[in-house]
Structure 1
Amino acid sequence: MEYAKDFLDILSALRTYIVDSIGVLFTLFGGAIEFLKSHDGFGNFLTGLIGAAIGGFFTLKGAEKAHILEQENARADEDKLLDNTLAMLKVEINSAWEIYWIEYGKDLVELDDTEPLLSTFPIGEDPFTIFNSAPEALAMAPREIAKDIVYFYMRAKGLVAMVKENSSDTEECRRYAFDSMMQKRHDPAFLELTNDAFAKKLEEHYVACIDEMSARLLMVSTATGMKILTQELKEVVERLNNSIDKYLIDRARA
């Protein structure tokens, strides 16, 4: 019972302390108000408060406008990057296609379906420099344009691999035929021929060796595959030229 009485006394004293403290705070606040009124400070205080509020509002609006402007500038930079990238990709695609068509593709599509293409075509290690360096910008391109660009380069890389294989096979055919022809030069049956007949016989032997080795290497199948890819790419190049030109013209007018 003694402990309970002490506890109640402590609670009573704590309550009295809190009530007195609140009273003191109200007294101090009231005194501050009276002081500001008596010294014209209250009006100045309110004026400063309103001014600060207005200043803060316009500062916030200015920051918001600056943020919007920054976003617009960023979008403009992205649009410019995309426009330049598409223009450069168009140049790379058309340059590569023109060289390929003039030096290789035209002869290929005119070739009889039963004949191999005995031709070499030098290709560098990285013929698609711009495409390989433009994945970020390409991601911002319209879906159909991006789809055709990726399709073109995927098929073009496959065609490059086939052209390199065909060039290697062509060199192997020529090397095999030449070595065989050199051996035939010492054949007694050849040596008995006249000069004209000897030369004709060697040429026939050379061609026969070419045909033999190209058949072993399935070069007719390689040529057929290259023809199919060439036709596909020709259509994609025409489609890309039209779609990229239209996109860039529309962007310039916007």
Structure 2
Amino acid sequence: MGLGSADAYISMVSGLVGAVIGGWCTLNGATKAHGLALKKEEAADRERMITTLMLLRTEIVGSWELFHEECGDELLGQTEGTPFLSILPIGANPFPIFDSGPAALNLVPRELAKNIVHFYMRAKGLIAAIEMNNRDYDQALQHARLRLLTQAERAHQAGDEVSDETHDEVFNYSVAFMAGQLGMGDTADSIRSLTQELAPIVQRITEEVDKLFTPDLEHNRVS
């Protein structure tokens, strides 16, 4: 049986070599395309992480500064056990960025992510304490107004008038009395304690975020 001509073998070998080369080129092209896709995905993930962290930093620092402007400094200046006789309005959703559950948070470095979660857990506890203080102070005010009304009715029946000094004395005493009954001093101590705990956490977050993105900011400035 004939083994075929040399040309046939050459043609067959050439075909095999061509197929191997073609397959290698296809595989190499697919590998490069996959690598480029991974790089694009990594770049997109980093962009999402940067955007998320900058938004969270803005929310954290902004809410912290606002808290101190409205009551934080006054609270910390009070002695232990002193009720905080003021109402601090709290919005329905004070942390919209964090509560939106940004998926990019899982891309954040572990320690930074822990600090961010720690901040929001304690901050929400702080808000709950402030809301309790608001309700209690409102109740203390209602009690004081009722006492004033009773005082005015008695004075009217006796043909007397309530002086401004007596008015203020009755009002302030009634508020202080009800604040004590409601344990507002303990609530204020809780707010002060959480405020002191949060201060270094806020500082760590801002420093870590700024340090993490300083190269990016410098690069963008140069570009």
Establish whether TM, by shorter chain, passes 0.5. Answer: yes
Cα 1:165–1:192 shift into 2, 3 Å: same
In the TM superposition, residue 50 of structure 1 has moved relative to its aligned partner by: 1.1
- The answer for the alignment partner of 2:203 in structure 1 is 238
- The correspondence of residues 99-178 of structure 1 with structure 2, limited to 5 A, is 99-178=66-145
Task: Determine whether 1:63 maps to 2:23.
Answer: no
Contact 2:90/2:131 (CA < 8 Å) preserved in 1?
yes
Higher relative contact order (CA 8 A, sep 6+): 2
Deviations 1:185-207 (A, max 9, x none): 021499565x6x62211221111
Contact 1:185/1:191 (CA < 8 Å) preserved in 2?
no
Deviates more, 1:244-253 or 1:79-88: 244-253
Structure 1, gaps ≥5 residues long: 1-29
In the TM superposition, residue 252 of structure 1 has moved relative to its aligned partner by: 5.2
- The answer for the alignment partner of 2:185 in structure 1 is 220
Q: Which has the larger radius of gyration?
A: 1
Cα 1:249–1:178 shift into 2, 3 Å: same
- The answer for the alignment partner of 1:18 in structure 2 is none
Deviations 1:33-59 (A, max 9, x none): 42xx27x33322221221111111111
CA distance in 1: counterparts of 2:154 and 2:24, whole angstroms: 103
Deviations 1:109-153 (A, max 9, x none): 112324211111111222111112245211121111111101100
> Could you tell me which of 194, 215, 219 is aligned with 1:229?
194
What is the total number of aligned residue pairs between the two structures?
219
TM-score by length of 1: 0.80
Contact 1:190/1:198 (CA < 8 Å) preserved in 2?
no
The list of structure 1 runs, each at least 4 consecutive aligned residues, that deviate by more than 3 angstroms after superposition, is 188-193, 250-254
Cα 1:87–1:188 shift into 2, 3 Å: closer
> Could you tell me which of 60, 80, 93 is aligned with 2:47?
80
TM-score by length of 2: 0.90
> Could you tell me which of 150, 170, 173 is aligned with 1:183?
150
Deviates more, 1:112-121 or 1:56-65: 112-121
Contact 2:52/2:102 (CA < 8 Å) preserved in 1?
no
